[in-house]
Chains A and B, each alone.
Chain A
Amino acid sequence: MTILETRDLKKYYNSGETTVKALDGVNLKIEAGTFTAIVGTSGSGKSTLLHMLGGLDRPTEGKVLVDKKDIFTFKEEALTIFRRRKIGFVFQSYNLVPVLNVKENILLPIELDGGRPDQAYIQKIITLLGLEEKLQNLPSNLSGGQQQRVAIARALAGKPAIILADEPTGNLDSRTSQDVMSLLKVTSERFRQTIVMITHNEEIAQTADRIIRIEDGRIAKDGE
């Protein structure tokens, strides 16, 4: 079953006289429950693609379908709600809320939705990610790896169908990267989640079900 699909997706940025074609006609189908890695050189348009898939930004042209629904037909408010129920984001730069502690950060998306967190499940994630000791800490008191783990816990907490991760291991040493990756795989398998992850790390890319290579805003290579 196709859970994510793009049709002729384009994103152009105008800066003065020049136009940057960050995405230039991307067609893509991703099956539910798979693990896809996106690779490519810096500036090739990976992050832009991921943002489009998650509905964070609107494309210049083309469509993104999540669960067969064209997400850009939604109103801003509805899109946000759709996103927080369906998609979990993990950013390269963690993007934790600096004024909330670890526990509060993790629960935030669920609470924003007015939902009741599945305590047992949350506890399991926290244990898996080794964050029990840090629950009361503010993000600024954590190391980069710890912050990334909190960001992952937050993305998983709402049991989203899709996890979009932008270089989640970029700031981590190789051992921690391994841990984080295996964790992502374990949880995604357990909860049948779809993962799309940008990475520069060949090793990590090799563990994916599918690797998509982006060059100059287009898909250059697609395969296992």
Chain B
Amino acid sequence: MLRVRNQKTIRRLANRSFSANRTRNIMAVIAVTLTTLLFSALFTTAISVKYSTEQTTMRQVGGYAHCGFKDLTAEQKDTLKTHPLIEKYGTNKVLTSLEEGVFEKNRVEVRYIDEIGADMFFCSPTTGSLPGTERELATDTWVLDQLGVPHKIGEQITVPFVFHGETREETFTLSGFWERDSAAMVSEMWLSEEFVDQMLSEYTPDERMVAMGAGKWNLDICFANSRNIPGNLETIARDNGYEIEDAMAEKYLRTGVNWAYLSTHSNQGEDLLSIAAVVFLTMMIILTGYLIIYNIFQISVSSDIRFYGLLKTIGTTGRQIRAMIRLQALKLCILGLPLGLLAGYLAGNQISAIVMKNMSGQQVYLTLNPWIFAGAALFSLLTVLLSCHKPGRIAGAVSPVESLRYTESVSGKKKSKKDRHGPKVLQMALANLGRNRKKTVLVILSLSLSVVLLYGVSAFSAGFDMDKFVAKFMTADYLVGHKDLFKNRFGSENQELKEEFLASVNSIEGIRESGLIYYNTGNTTASMTKAQYLRFLDPMQMQTLGDEFHALGDEDLTNPPIGIYGLDEMPFQYLKFVDGEVDYEELKKGNVIIQLVHQDDYGNPYLERAPYSVGDEVTFTYADEYEYIGDDMDAELVIHKSHEKTYTIGATAVLPGPLTVRRFGGANFAVAPEILKKEAGEKAVRMSCLVNMEEGMEDQMETFLERYMENADSDLDFESKKGYSDQFQSFRRMFLLIGTAASLVVALVGVLNFINAIVTGIRARRREMAVLQSIGMTGRQLKEMLILEGCAYGISAILLSLILSLLMQSLVLGQLEHILWFFTAKWIWSPILGMLLVFLVLGAVIPAAAYRTVERQSVVERLREVE
């Protein structure tokens, strides 16, 4: 239908009528900009938080490769790497690792690597380069510091390798180095291939080197995208005639998938929630944008209706008029989009930084993902097109004759002839609102939207129950332990709290009470039937148990490992008995013990997972002498000597999470420390120390602990009630900040809509108002009428918001109590009353200001004005 020639004509008409609508354009461009800003801020935040989380995990794992083949021969490596699915690959050959002395806590892996490989490890030299000649080396600054080597290319480094238990020192020249990533768990040292080969020819790999895959090649791979990594990996193996599932198979290849990519899939619930949130917000933005842009176009079309009718009479088709309006909308997009995209991107980066800091204490990795812009632009465009669709239809469908005599129709009852001027003005104001119902409803809706949003945000954050939150994470004022305890990695004697520390703690002032929690790091088992074991055995772990276990009948006896806590009297008071009760004196006697169970977020104990009942007799087997044979993963426990001890279960109780070893699951028991020490000896380890302070003296302890950690023992760490409440507050503040910012933008949109409605309403009625004035209405009365109109918008919006907020309160926030354990729904008035005030002020100020511009023209000028 639209031929090229008339398209040009339509474009000209669109352009001209665009220029003739300055006020509308300014409003619309602002609206488009704001809408785009919201979209791009949302997408930036979503994408960069996801990206940052991924990056953080990758940096912990130490690489961004999607997956890799391990322990390959040179030929295998060379054939596998040519597979067409592989987008990018890096190769490396392991020599050994440094684990002695200064490297005991942080291993250094030693290998030859190529350039892409190093990049995949985030370990490319930022200064210098990879080793070029045999005697060159590249490593990170942390390793250099440990070896006492200055950060300078060309420095000599002596590295103490350990082969077969004997140390061999070799000297290299530093060819490159980089800053160690604080998230990384191991360090890397890159050597030349020649040197690695030479060492391997001199020494057959020892046990530790074999475990690392010394002398074998690793092939790290990136595919075109991170979808279906395991599947692609399998395809590559199969295409080359290898097998990656069955470890027993002849042509088996060991593989690994980067769990930075896997973790995003394993957390499906959380993922789904984030996606739902993004979708919800996107809809909200579309709605917000729609409300205003639609209104702007609607008003513009109805005030230009004569113009469209006129175009119709001379033969413009409805389709052409729709195209005209669409063209104008697109032009508004061209003006509004870039600014909105940029501002939204900047805002989004700020928000992501806040989110990352508050959610996981991690930094944000900025990303200039083109999808942010493409997505935001697309959605913004969609919103605009959606918004001008209906007005376009109206303009296109206008009947040529009707338009020749178009005025906004006055609906409702005819005006009654009361003479008191007050009510008459009010009546006229209300009648004016009723003139264009659609416009009025839209303005009120878009104003309400911001109030409801603000209410939602405020009520949600007000509902965060700090007491519930802190109680879950902290019971006493302070809990001190080895830093690994707080990383859920407690479990050996060298993580024990030191005597010197306990002595110094006891010397500080203001302690009301304190006590220790011991944990059995030795190997202890309890006898029970398979059925009892299955109550708390987690399915993942069950798979690792051999066929022997699966062959057992339900009533056959088995001996699973258990956890035993030794509680001083002070921590003992935090036990929550759920079945039976035992007093501390009785516990100290050593015949009666307490069975421990975990609880869910709402404080309901998992009683069904307790293997024993109160009154049961249980026999523990304490291993006195034992060793592990084999490497880490599949080490086998061999017990040389052990003894048994029988107890009675006196009660079942919950030990609050913070006081535990911070690993979920298993069967756990509590005894008095003396009893644990008697049976487990050195393996009864002082795990944590609980302290309650005198009122007002709480900060003393924190100061002491911080100083002590800095000067005496950097391996310590602690948690405090105050720390948790601070963390809680900052989480709440973050939420409030982002939420309020979002509601403010929405409010801005609403207000813009409101301004637009008032201003265009007044402009459209310029002649009419002049007529009113010519027949005796004073300017004052006119202004009064306009202000009343403005306030009526505000009041209606607040009433609507009140209803919607009440609905939200009962339908959404009330339900949240069941989903978020730290949430208690509360009704709050402040956002609604606050916004009422704002709307009343705006309702008065905007019409008054708009009327000013009208007032400048004389009545006669306005009467003569041609539309």
Contacts and interface: CB of A to CB of B under 8 A. Distances in A.
Interface stretch (A65-73, A103-111, A193-201): A103-111
B319 A77 contact: yes
Contact of B397 (A76, A85, A97): A76
Contacts of A93: 404
Interface string B390-414: 0000000101111010000000000
Interface stretch (A30-38, A112-120, A126-134, A174-182): A112-120
B400 A84 contact: no
Contacts of B20: 98-99
Nearest to B18: A99
A136 interface: no
A209 interface: no
B320 interface: yes
B508 interface: no
B318 A116 contact: no
Contact of B5 (A76, A77, A116): A116
Which has the most chain A C-beta neighbours within 10 Å: B13, B307, B319, B402?
Answer: B13
A59 B333 CA distance: 41
A104 B12 contact: yes
A185 interface: no
Which has the most chain B C-beta neighbours within 10 Å: A51, A95, A140?
Answer: A95
A83 interface: yes
Contacts of B312: 80
Interface in A141-184: 154
B317 A109 contact: no
B317 A77 contact: yes
B313 A98 contact: no
B313 A95 contact: yes
Given A57-B401, A104-B12, A140-B866, A112 B316 contact: yes
B315 interface: yes
B307 A81 contact: no
B551 interface: no
Contacts of B399: 56-57
Given A51-B401, A83-B315, A97 B310 contact: yes
Given A100-B13, A140-B866, A84 B3 contact: no
Nearest to B19: A99
B10 to A, nearest CB: 8
A56 B314 contact: no
A99 B313 contact: no
A101 to B, nearest CB: 9
B202 to A, nearest CB: 87
B762 interface: no
Nearest to B397: A76
B314 A84 contact: yes
Nearest to B311: A97
A140 B864 CA distance: 13
Which has the most chain A C-beta neighbours within 10 Å: B313, B318, B320?
Answer: B313
A95 B401 contact: no
Nearest to B316: A112
B9 interface: yes
A170 to B, nearest CB: 15
B6 interface: yes
B16 interface: yes
Given A56-B401, A89-B314, A114 B12 contact: no
Given A56-B400, A76-B318, A89-B313, A99 B9 contact: no
Contacts of B318: 76-77, 80
B5 A111 contact: yes
A178 B716 CA distance: 107
Secondary structure at chain B's binding surface: helix, strand, loop or mixed?
helix
A112 B311 CA distance: 10
A184 to B, nearest CB: 18
A100 B310 CA distance: 13
A148 to B, nearest CB: 15
Interface in B728-746: none
B314 A154 contact: yes
A84 to B, nearest CB: 2
A77 B16 CA distance: 24
A148 B12 CA distance: 23
A113 B6 contact: yes
A8 to B, nearest CB: 20
Given A77-B319, A98-B307, A114-B6, A109 B16 contact: no
Contact of B315 (A100, A104, A112, A140): A112
B17 interface: yes
A95 B9 CA distance: 18
A99 B402 CA distance: 21
Nearest to A139: B866
A183 B252 CA distance: 99
A80 B16 contact: no
Which has the most chain B C-beta neighbours within 10 Å: A77, A84, A98, A99?
Answer: A99
Contacts of B313: 56, 89, 91, 95
A76 B5 CA distance: 22
A163 B239 CA distance: 80
B13 A99 contact: yes
Contacts of A108: 9, 13, 314
A111 B307 contact: no
Contact of A81 (B3, B13, B19, B315): B315
A38 B417 CA distance: 42
Nearest to B314: A109
B317 A80 contact: yes
B71 to A, nearest CB: 72
Contacts of A98: 20, 307
Contacts of B400: 51, 56-57
A201 B199 CA distance: 117
Contact of A112 (B4, B9, B17, B307): B9
A40 B90 CA distance: 95
B19 A80 contact: no
Contacts of A91: 313, 404
B289 to A, nearest CB: 27
Interface string B16-33: 110110000000000000
A125 to B, nearest CB: 16
B409 to A, nearest CB: 11
Which has the most chain B C-beta neighbours within 10 Å: A93, A108, A112?
Answer: A112
Nearest to A58: B399
A109 B13 CA distance: 12
Contacts of A57: 399-402
Contacts of B3: 114
A160 to B, nearest CB: 10
Contacts of B316: 80, 112
Interface string B306-335: 010011111111111000000000000000
A84 B313 CA distance: 8
Nearest to A138: B16
Contacts of B5: 111, 114-116
A189 B431 CA distance: 54
Given A57-B400, A95-B310, A114-B6, A81 B16 contact: no
Contacts of B401: 51, 56-57
B763 to A, nearest CB: 16
Interface in B671-722: none
A109 B315 contact: yes
Interface of A: 51, 56-57, 76-77, 80-81, 83-85, 89, 91, 93, 95, 97-100, 104, 108-109, 111-116, 140, 154
The 7 closest A-B pairs by CB, nearest first: A84-B315, A99-B16, A114-B3, A111-B9, A57-B401, A114-B6, A56-B400
Given A108-B13, A114-B2, 13 more contacts: A51-B401, A57-B402, A76-B318, A77-B319, A81-B317, A83-B315, A89-B313, A91-B313, A93-B404, A95-B313, A99-B17, A109-B315, A114-B5
23 contacts: A51-B401, A76-B318, A77-B318, A77-B319, A81-B317, A83-B315, A84-B315, A97-B311, A97-B314, A99-B19, A100-B12, A100-B13, A108-B13, A108-B314, A111-B6, A111-B8, A111-B9, A113-B6, A114-B2, A114-B3, A114-B4, A114-B6, A140-B866
